[in-house]
Amino acid sequence: GLTRNFSNSTSLNAIKTVTVVGGGLMGSGIAQVAAQAGQNVNLIDLKPELLDTAQKSIQNNLHRVARKIHKDAPAKIEEYVKEASERIKVSTNLEDGTNADLIVEAIVEKLDVKQQLFNRLDQLCPEHTILASNTSSISINEIGAGIKRKNKFGGLHFFNPVPVMRLLEVIKSEQMSEETYQAMMEWGKSVGKTCITCKDTPGFVVNRLLGPYSAEALRMYERGDASKEDIDIGMKLGAGYPMGPLELSDYTGLDTNKFVLNVLYEKTGNPVFKSIPLLDKMVAEGKLGVKTGEGFYKYKK
Ligand code: 3HC
């Protein structure tokens, strides 16, 4: 019948307005790709200065994208950047973002803080709003434990740098409906990503596999088996990785690397994920990689 056709129509279910909560590196990247896809975006963060930084980095990264599309047409490049950035509205007030079709959370990796946010969103958002977390390794089901709309909740895990990395992991929560799953897969495609699906398991697909690789590289360097440069060159030229494991750790952030390994160890008990004294020491010293100017290598800030 007519109703059935209407409810199956993708254009009626399509996600047009997206709210991203968290204006850090991942949040601003997610906001950017949604704006590039022509969607209306709200970017929410408690800290106004973080929103300023996010807007600047989005402008920069939009220029990189626009230059690729419009090569030697400066007017078109400017137009592309202007149009996309105008689609992103920033606010420090969560309520400015609650009227959205999809909300993606990319805030601090702390279970209780995430749970509080989702409980609030669950109360504030209209019934149809889908809620998703970009967590790297915290359990999706635990994050959503307190919400009522468990059928409209799951994980959308992006990779850094979001505008460049082509993958999106769609994480199925225990009670996610087929409709929500399809909406998430379609939205991922609409923002230019190839989607893979994973159950709510520690580290999902990519971090579960990057974890042992990264941990063994750190231990190899800690033992002095090879220099950091040679470990990195080895995996770039011998295995075709764009970055070596120590460079990648600097790029992702040593604190994030340590956090992911800790969660994987807690959840799986696999000794390969056990804490690594060298990593602990560097994090304690504030050597977090590119973002602090020093990790395994030194960077200009
Ligand atoms: N926005 C838009 N475009 C960007 C960009 C950004 N933030 N960063 C880079 N680019 C573009 C550049 O403009 C360039 O475009 P071009 O090829 O058309 O000139 C292209 O991407 C390549 O960039 P660069 O030439 O500056 O540098 P590289 O060729 O070294 O590539 C890289 C950089 C894409 C970061 C590449 O080194 C890479 O893929 N590294 C591995 C990254 C990775 O593994 N990420 C996943 C980490 S794990 C994770 O995120 C999960 C989390 O839960 C921990």
Which residues does a 6 A CB cutoff place in the pocket of ligand 1?
Answer: 61, 64-65, 68, 136, 159-161, 163-165, 207, 242-243, 248, 252, 256, 260
Whole-angstrom Cα distance, residue 245 to residue 248? 5
Give the number of the atom of ligand 1 that is nearest the alpha carbon of residue 260.
Answer: 54
Residue 64 is predicted with a pLDDT of 94
Mean pLDDT on 71-80: 92
Q: Does domain 208-291 have CATH number 1.10.260.40?
A: no
Whole-number pLDDT of residue 243? 98
Inter-axis angle of helices 245-252 and 206-223, nearest 10: 120
Please, what is the average pLDDT of the chain?
95
Task: Identify the pLDDT of residue 7.
Answer: 42
- What does the pLDDT look like over 44-68, one tens digit per residue? 999 999 999 999 999 999 999 999 9
Annotated domain spans of the chain: 2-199, 208-291
Render pLDDT for 142-192 as a digit per residue (tens, 0 to 9): 999 999 999 999 999 999 999 999 999 999 999 999 999 999 999 999 999
3-class DSSP assignment, residue 5: helix
Protein residue closest via CA to atom 22 of ligand 1: 164
Instruction: Copy the structure tokens of residue 277.
Output: 């004294």
Q: Which of 243, 104, 109, 233 is nearest to 164 (CA)?
A: 243
3-state secondary structure of 88: strand
Does the structure show a pLDDT above 60 at 118?
yes
Cis peptide before 161 (omega within 30 of 0): yes
* C-alpha dist (Å) from residue 290 to 136, 202, 251: 19, 26, 6
Percentage with pLDDT > 90 across the chain: 94
Give me the pLDDT at residue 4, please.
42
pLDDT digits (tens, 9 = 90+) for 14-40: 899 999 999 999 999 999 999 999 999
Q: Scan for tokens 């635990």, then name that residue.
A: 142
Domains 2-199 and 208-291 belong to one CATH topology? no
- Phi, psi at 83, each rounded to 5°: -60, -45
Q: From atom 33 of ligand 1, which residue's Cα is the shortest distance away?
A: 242
| pLDDT tier at 1, thresholds 50, 70, 90 | very low
Q: Whose CA is nearest to atom 45 of ligand 1?
A: 160
Task: In the chain, count H helices and then E strands.
Answer: 13, 8
Dist. CA 165 → ligand 1 center (Å):
7
Q: List pLDDT tens digits, range 229-272.
A: 999 999 999 999 999 999 999 999 999 999 999 999 999 999 99
At 262-298, the pLDDT tens digits run 999 999 999 999 999 999 999 999 999 999 999 999 9
Residue 59 near residue 85 (C-beta atoms within 8 A): yes
Q: Check residue 174 and report its DSSP letter.
A: T
> 2-199 belongs to which CATH class?
alpha beta
User: Which atom of ligand 1 lies at the shortest distance from residue 137's CA?
Assistant: 53
CA of 178 to the centre of ligand 1 (A): 33
- Residue to mutate (ligand 1; options 33, 64, 68, 85; most atoms within 8 A of CB): 64
Residue 14 has a pLDDT of: 85
